[in-house]
Amino acid sequence: MKRVVLSILLFVIGFSPAWAEHFDYRVKAGKANEVYVFGRYRVLTCQADILPQLTVRQKPKHGSVKFVKSMVRLSADTGKCAGQQIKGMKIIYTPARGYRGKDAFSVSYPYFVYESGMQRSTETMSFSLDVR
């Protein structure tokens, strides 16, 4: 069975670029699918930072979304922090029983921008799913 571990979003404290993300994934019908792993860490110390509050902005029409706290291992592209474990949040999508077809949802979270003073912003990640 293939696990759908699709990406880890890592923020370096003090740097928060303004961007929006969209993901297109194929997921399995009849089971919970891990579609995203979200985590924050301090690049100088490799220590986990506080996770922002994730919110389902647009609910899926043919399933459900939940957030599950878990330990996340940092990938090789994190440099000296590779292999370290931090507290993270998995985004899990479960299609409705018997459903196959297209579905979509979005998740948002607050973050702070430190340009000419601290400002709060909200980013949104949208997911388009092909349930098979």
In a domain? residue 86: yes
Joined tokens for residue 42: 């301090």
In a domain? residue 3: no
Q: What is the pLDDT of residue 6?
A: 32
Domain containing 96 equals 8-131
Residue 27, burial from CB neighbour count under 10 angstroms (0-12, 13-18, 19+): buried
* pLDDT values of the chain reduced to their tens digit, one per residue, 132 residues: 333 333 334 433 334 444 579 999 999 999 999 999 988 888 899 998 888 899 999 999 999 999 999 999 999 998 999 999 999 999 999 999 999 999 999 999 987 776 666 777 888 999 999 999
Distance, CA of 70 to CA of 90 (rounded, Å): 7
In a domain? residue 81: yes
Q: What is the pLDDT of residue 45?
A: 92
Number of domains in the chain: 1
pTM for this predicted structure? 0.79
Joined tokens for residue 108: 């948002």
Q: What is the pLDDT of residue 30?
A: 96
In a domain? residue 39: yes
Q: What is the pLDDT of residue 8?
A: 38
In a domain? residue 84: yes
